[in-house]
Structure 1
Amino acid sequence: MFKILLTHSLPQPGIEKLQQLANLEIPYPDGMGYDAIFEVIESYDGLILTGGVKIDEKLLDKAKNLKLIANYGVGYDSINTVYAKEKGILVTNTPEPVIEPTAEIAFGLMLSLMRKITELDRKLRKTPDFRWDFMQNLGTRLFGKTIGIVGFGNIGKAVARRANAFGMKVIYYSRSKRPEEIEKEFTATFVSFDELLKTADVISLHAPHTNDTFHLIGQKELENMKNSAFLINTSRGPVVDEAALITALEGKEIAGAGLDVYEKEPKVSPKLLEMENVVLTPHIGTTTLESRTDMAISVSESILTFMDGKTPVNVVNS
């Protein structure tokens, strides 16, 4: 029977069918790190990977029987997909279930930051003589503002759809200009990266972490943004130079930042934790019961398809 290592417990409805047709083992329900996976991987045919654990050449060499890595999530930058392919190991991900919840978090950060929701919630709870004066606590409205979306894939488009509903002007930058019908559907205009930085009132990042996107937003890019602009990152932490971001926030070069991901995750800079004009969440872009269940179904379907002698849909290293 096909033997599968699951590195963290998942919602039961998502893996029931897989448990019936394969030998699914969960030795550490609360999560496995690199060393724990390395210790046991040799005997497994399949791996369901959670938590972005690094899968490097050393581990792949140890995985003598491994045929498939089903990554529980859309980002797979922790996996050496090129070497996995050399070893004949397919790698899949789960792009569809993460689209809407990640877009929701991006917009949630945007609203919380620009309308000062979390900042004022904290102050109202902790300040006995908190002022309710009508010219205090002024935020920034979203209506009529320009949102610049970096990366116009499925998540970027889902953010654009929400921006349309809020009456925002949508501009985007991506590796390639989208077809005219897509731009019309999302009322979106393609611009250069430099123009996006200079004109957007809020920038939302939806680019994967690659060598090309490492520190895509650094000192130069932050200096090119409006002093009144906000930065939202729900993609990957290393896409933003965090030290440069902190400097820009301290110097009021930009108005604020909303972050769900961090450069040294799970570590968060103490300076970011101290700032009022920053909204922070602990990488919860896909953290809903519905999306977690759908992601479990997706990895199960990938493995079951592979076991049936067919190629799974979401292979990332074919």
Structure 2
Amino acid sequence: MYKAVFTTERGHRHQQTALQAAPDTLDIIMLRRPDRTTLLAALADAEYLISERVGAIDAEMIQAAPELQMILRLGSLTHDIDTEAAKRAGVIVCRWPVGSVIRVAEHLVLQMLALSKKLRETEAIALAASGEWGESKRTDEDTFAYNWSGRTEVEGLWQKTIGIIGFGEIGAELARRLQGWDVDVLYHKRRRLPESVEAELAIRYVDEETLFRQSDYLVMLLPYFPETDQLLGETVFARMKEEACIVSCGSGSVIDEAALAQAVESGKLGGAALDTFEWEPIRPDNPLLPLAKQGYNILLTPHIAAGGAAAAARERLKDYTNIVNHIEGKALLYRIA
């Protein structure tokens, strides 16, 4: 058996999924946000350190692990790993892309585009095929009925400001996918990223107040903690730009759904797209449901942004690919040091 220390900020359910996917050759100690003393003690005889998404790995930690052979970062952000110290100690450093994270980033783009194009409203018009818009004519080079229903404010993301709150791996993958779209991407998180990472991702750090006031699309990616419970409510919505939109793939209970429904219904906000909810599966009394059914610019999806459950389980098996490859003397993927 090979000893591995697995550090994470994620909850018990995610931890169990990771442990169930681990190969039998690994003896894993799972630590959620360990204090330094606990972590250094666990590393004393560890051969592999798995760091899920975040967590500084410095020279002292590497020195405290004389048996350490590999540091594996599950995610794409590696700025907080002292790769030079790892090289000096002869420790391999690899990253591993997280498929579910990438799919959530893609879903966020879908949400923003759907709201910008008022997709549910405009699709309903096409599906109705109503004669109220005039006589239909066969189209050719000069014959067509552009915007035959006279929709207004059907735009897109070009030159819009997108603000991400709760910036982590999903935010980073979203920023990568928005490069080349000519959008201004702002972000806010508790610990600001190094300027080199901001430049790489083409993002700009701002305080919460600026984020709320300047964003045309507010991307909510906050996890659930007692201090984030119902954090986005009436007070935040009042500070946002007129007709701004909210898209969310963060924890459902971070958003006050009743206040969000009121903000959309009143016209203060231009729309909302949610993949997570305070109560799941979504309850019939969710205040956003009647508005969505009435045709407001609201898109609700049943917590599927990360993909199907089977795909997520299979991907967790892949998390350990480089460790298994190292044990078996095979080539390593995504090596950075």
Shorter-chain TM-score range: 0.5 to 0.7
Corresponding residue for residue 184 of structure 1: 199
1:9-34 CA-partner distances (Å, limit 9, x unpaired): xxxxxxxxxxxxxxxxxxxxxxxxxx
Alignment of 1:1-318 (within 5 A): 69-70=16-17, 96-129=98-131, 131=133, 134=147, 136-138=150-152, 139-268=154-283, 269=286, 270-274=289-293, 275-287=295-307, 291-292=311-312, 294-298=314-318
Question: Structure 1 regions of 5+ residues with no counterpart?
Answer: 1-51, 56-67, 73-80, 86-91, 305-318
- Higher relative contact order by CA 8 Å / sep ≥ 6: 1 or 2? 1
Q: Percent identity?
A: 27
Between structure 1 and structure 2, the one with the greater Rg is: 2
Letter in 2 for 1:175: R
State the 1:69 CA deviation.
2.1
State the 1:287 CA deviation.
1.2
Letter in 2 for 1:112: A
State the 1:290 CA deviation.
9.2
State the 1:140 CA deviation.
2.3
Does the residue aligned with 1:212 lie in a helix, a strand or coil?
A: helix
Output the CA distance in 1 between the equivalents of 2:123 and 2:132.
11
Question: Structure 2 regions of 5+ residues with no counterpart?
Answer: 1-9, 20-31, 39-50, 53-73, 76-97, 134-144, 325-337
State the 1:114 CA deviation.
0.6
State the 1:71 CA deviation.
5.1
The answer (yes or no) to whether the contact 1:146–1:171 under 8 Å persists in 2 is yes
State the 1:227 CA deviation.
1.6
Letter in 2 for 1:249: V
Two-structure CA RMSD over aligned residues (Å): 3.8
Does the residue aligned with 2:109 lie in a helix, a strand or coil?
A: helix
Identify if the C-alpha distance between structure 1 residues 290 and 101 changes in structure 2 by more than 3 Å, giving closer, same or farther: farther
Identify if the C-alpha distance between structure 1 residues 294 and 69 changes in structure 2 by more than 3 Å, giving closer, same or farther: closer
Identify if the C-alpha distance between structure 1 residues 291 and 97 changes in structure 2 by more than 3 Å, giving closer, same or farther: farther
Output the CA distance in 1 between the equivalents of 2:299 and 2:216.
17
Letter in 2 for 1:215: Q
Does the residue aligned with 1:148 lie in a helix, a strand or coil?
A: strand
Letter in 2 for 1:136: G
Letter in 1 for 2:108: A
State the 1:101 CA deviation.
0.2
Output the CA distance in 2 between the equivalents of 1:105 and 1:130.
34
The answer (yes or no) to whether the contact 1:101–1:287 under 8 Å persists in 2 is yes
Output the CA distance in 2 between the equivalents of 1:252 and 1:103.
27
1:92-139 CA-partner distances (Å, limit 9, x unpaired): 978622221000000001101111223211221124236455482231
Q: Following superposition, which runs of at least 4 residues in structure 1 exceed 4 angstroms of deviation?
A: 52-55, 92-95, 288-291, 298-302
Output the CA distance in 1 between the equivalents of 2:263 and 2:196.
37
